Amino acid sequence: MSKNKLECYSNGVYFENPFLVGSGPPSTNAKVIARSFDAGWGGSVIKTLSLDHTKVKNIAPRYGQYKVDGKCIGFTNNELITDRPLSVWLEEIRELKKRYPSKVLIGSIMEEPTRENWQELTEKVCKAGVDIIELNLSCPHGMPERKMGQAMGQCPEVVSDVTSWVKEVSTVPVWAKMTPNITDITIPAAAALKAGADGLTAINTILSVSGIDLKTFKPVPNVKGVSAFGGYSYKAVKPIGLRMVGELAMAFPKVEISGVGGIVDGQSSAEYLCMGSSTLQVCTAIMLDGFKIIGALKSELEAVLDQHGMENVHELKAKSLEFFGTMEEMAKRLEASKQKTKAHTDHFEGDNIVEVSKQLTLD
């Protein structure tokens, strides 16, 4: 029997492979989660739960695409947390764990900033049988009027409070999901870790507008002519996600990180691992191409491992971090190499800007 090169551990939890369905429409109920497990995903992060689902008012249409040459590279959503009763979810969690005991089920939770609410929700979800709790401190558009989502994640003091409340009662590891809509992602992350978080998830979606319909001047998407800034995901956000995961991994080298943002194939999966992730979450790619993409994700990531003679996916973790430094270091190395270069800006002479830009680009 061949060895499973993709099996891994995070916070003591075993994953048959590092690929998790990210919290969102692909994990919106037990039926779709079961479908993902049957397809081969290692785990799923449940669509974010709260105590009172009746306060959640979803809209339609709520998605927008940013296309280049007719192909979607960026996806904007105004998706809210679950609008299904918590009691139904708790029963579905219990049933999923009975049917799929080897799959990892992660409970994403969000509440108003009160100890009682967070602790009640945590206790109920833990008792239902989740393997990990993920704190949604980062949804960019979800109910800021209730001081939820990124309204919490942008305030280190609130991040600390919420994390400590949950850790007081949680019986499973706790991950804090970080918002990218902040100047320095390591500041709230440090607050979460100091308060006891066992791991981090990064990144959530980026505030955005997909575009403007120039026939009507209305943003896309909109509901009856009114829009709101949404969360941006898919291929175009990968460079930002990689940077922020790298910042977290450099600042907290022993911390488990679940990487999210533009993971669509084995290449992007390996890149997130090389920047410090232990597990990988995928949401938008599933929405656009279905659960079946797991086959390609696994085979393509295994091919990267085989190319480098690696026996396990953990060998990729943080592999690229040693190659980061400062601009000053880069300049000194270039000077020491005595390489002929057109790095000086005097080489830009107006009409040759395209040519010089190509010469300074590493494909």
So which residues are the catalytic ones?
A: 139
Whole-angstrom Cα distance, residue 186 to residue 249?
9
Preceding peptide of 203 cis, ω within 30°: yes
How many angstroms separate the first and last alpha carbons of the chain? 40
- Alpha carbon distances (Å) from 72 to 62, 233, 267: 16, 11, 18
The residues, any chain, with a CB within 8 Å of residue 172's CB and separated by 6 or more, are 126, 130, 131, 132, 133
DSSP string, 216-282: TTEEES-BTTB---EEEESGGGHHHHHHHHHHHHHHSTTSEEEEESS--SHHHHHHHHHTT-SEEEE
DSSP string, 79-105: --S--S-HHHHHHHHHHHHHH-TTSEE
Q: Exposed e or buried b for every residue in 316-344, given b needs 16+ CB within 10 A?
A: bbbbbeeeeeeeeeeeeeeeeeeeeeeee
Q: Does residue 133 contact residue 163 with C-beta atoms inside 8 Å?
A: no
Whole-angstrom Cα distance, residue 27 to residue 32?
6
